Structure 1
Amino acid sequence: MAKKIKTIGVLTSGGDAPGMNAAVRAVVRTSITEGIRVKGIMRGFAGLLDEEIKEMDSFSVADIINRGGTILYTARCKAFMEESVQRQAAEICRKHEIDGLVVIGGDGSFRGARSLARLGINTIGIPGTIDLDIACTDYTIGFDTAINTAIDAIDKIRDTSTSHERVSIVEVMGRHAGYIALWCGIASGAEEILLPEYYDHDEQRIIDKIIEHRKKGKRHHIIINAEGIGHSVSMAARIEAATGIETRATILGHMQRGGMPSCKDRVYASIMGAKAAHLLKEGKSERIIAYQHGEFIDYDIEDALAMEKSLPEEYVAISRGLIRF
């Protein structure tokens, strides 16, 4: 018989992402509609251990769908990797009568959710990360807003780069995954896209291309560089020394995490939040909400964590064709 869920806890963990508030709102309001109590857990798993837990109602999540960040705050908790700490967290959930938990975050957050599920707390994960690097899903909360924020900045940088006839290196986020760089590179019409998955460290090729384009009359050059490659400032200095062309580096940084979530992030996050609440009501556990081929589905958390994700080869090939001139 499926476990009857009377109280759902919800937390956000890891890096913040625009749209997390929409997901929290959907979990709270959907659960209340289904006659289930909801408790908000502040500051992720760290807040759970510190028992920073509060009762939530429909008014707790009023006027937050348009806000970036997360009203529950977020934190990383290395201690949660220890079994004794996980057992302590499960006991805290039981103490506060939390028998179902929605965890919004990335792979690390899902591993924490899996641990709690094995200790008797039903858990559902929702993918929230601007990096789009969760293998089981084509969509993660925050990615759409992040790339639009970055594109807006890159378009402005191109204006001034053209006016000053510069080379501009724009570093976008993505430590191990080049999704933001790839999408921004294609969308901005960049002359070079540097992806951690494919970067060959051949700066001379980039330098030769800049010189060749300048001879043909091109007066500016935009390079999109992924955070996983980094070193944009020193790269700019080397390119300027080799070409004699003024070269500037701009690191967009955490501005990509902030701002009002896009319509897509609000709607998709809301659907994922509602679906997570419904799964818990049905007594489901150890599932991750995903978006695949135009549909919202759910995966076994073990299967999801075992999946590997790589940049779409077709997208990479197309991007290379667009900048090869």
Structure 2
Amino acid sequence: MNESAVKKIAVLTSGGDAPGMNAALRAVVRTANHYHIECFGVREGYNGLIHDDFTKMGPRSVKNIITEGGTILKSARSLEFKTKEGRKKAYDNLVKRGIDALVCIGGDGTFTGAKIFNEEFGIKVIGVPGTIDNDIFGTDNTIGYDTALNTAMEAIDKIRDTATSHNRVFFVEVMGRDAGFIALNSGIATGAIDILIPERKDSIDELFATFERAEKAGKSSSIVV
């Protein structure tokens, strides 16, 4: 099948929602319309593929969603899609509707599922990196990462006021799962005294030594991310 043979596509959002997913969805739907490709939205990610929860989409379907957070298609994590039987149900539903290709907006888990799905059934798949974790290879910034980073920075800046007022040390935990991008860059940007990330193993002794050096330097409050 050549690229011009693609006449119908389906698009889904999967895994944790990320700021910008709706904007990405809008772009997919409007681009499909421009090239006269029929587009279906799949509700609740891979669960929707398995349970045949499709909805026809066009430019009116994505009107005024570009600034909305979350995803209008909803999102979910699918244990059933991790099984061969679940993926076969999903494939059968795509075949039943004559869908030629699938666009998956999500993170590492979404991409892993899409890769396996493609290898097993040969369905054309495009992955759009939408995750605040920024843990997708091949892109500088995933959709949602910049917003998450700035949100963390704003929160840390506010917490610092209380830390300074009460001479306290605050530990700020941010999201990112096994990737330390949010922690590292928000910590650097806000002047954290130490940054603890999954990619590097830090000991309690090293952390205490950092506090001792700060105290000797006259620092009375600190932020650790």
Superposed pair shares fold, TM > 0.5: yes
Please give the alpha-carbon distance, in whole angstroms, between the structure 2 residues aligned to 1:120 and 1:60. Answer: 29
Please give the alpha-carbon distance, in whole angstroms, between the structure 1 residues aligned to 2:166 and 2:156. Answer: 15
1:86 partnered with 2:87: yes
1:122 partnered with 2:96: no
Q: Tell me what 1:59 maps to.
A: 60
Counterpart contact for 1:116–1:122, Cα < 8 Å: no
1:38 partnered with 2:39: yes
Seen in structure 2, the aligned counterparts of structure 1 residues 164 and 52 have a Cα distance that, compared at 3 Å, is: same
Letter in 1 for 2:184: L
The CA deviation at 1:182 is 0.5
Deviations 1:8-34 (A, max 9, x none): 110011111111111100000010011
The CA deviation at 1:100 is 1.3
Counterpart contact for 1:86–1:115, Cα < 8 Å: no
Q: Tell me what 1:168 maps to.
A: 170
Q: Tell me what 1:239 maps to.
A: none
TM-score (norm 2): 0.94
Counterpart contact for 1:90–1:120, Cα < 8 Å: no
Please give the alpha-carbon distance, in whole angstroms, between the structure 2 residues aligned to 1:75 and 1:110. Answer: 14
Which deviates further from its counterpart, 10-19 or 77-86?
77-86
Please give the alpha-carbon distance, in whole angstroms, between the structure 2 residues aligned to 1:36 and 1:222. Answer: 51
Please give the alpha-carbon distance, in whole angstroms, between the structure 1 residues aligned to 2:209 and 2:101. Answer: 58
Q: Tell me what 2:75 maps to.
A: 74
Letter in 1 for 2:140: D
SS of the equivalent of 1:171 reads coil
Deviations 1:195-230 (A, max 9, x none): 111122x22332233234234321211101xxxxxx
SS of the equivalent of 1:168 reads strand
Counterpart contact for 1:9–1:100, Cα < 8 Å: yes
Q: Percent identical across equivalent pairs?
A: 52
Q: Map 1:120-269 to 2 at 5 A.
A: 120-200=122-202, 202-224=203-225
Which ranges of structure 2 fall in alignment gaps of 5 or more residues? none
Q: Tell me what 1:268 maps to.
A: none
Counterpart contact for 1:16–1:69, Cα < 8 Å: yes
Equivalent residue pairs, number: 223
Please give the alpha-carbon distance, in whole angstroms, between the structure 2 residues aligned to 1:218 and 1:139. Answer: 34
Which ranges of structure 1 fall in alignment gaps of 5 or more residues? 225-325
Seen in structure 2, the aligned counterparts of structure 1 residues 114 and 207 have a Cα distance that, compared at 3 Å, is: closer
Please give the alpha-carbon distance, in whole angstroms, between the structure 1 residues aligned to 2:98 and 2:180. Answer: 41
TM-score (norm 1): 0.66
SS of the equivalent of 1:192 reads coil
RMSD of aligned alpha carbons:
1.5
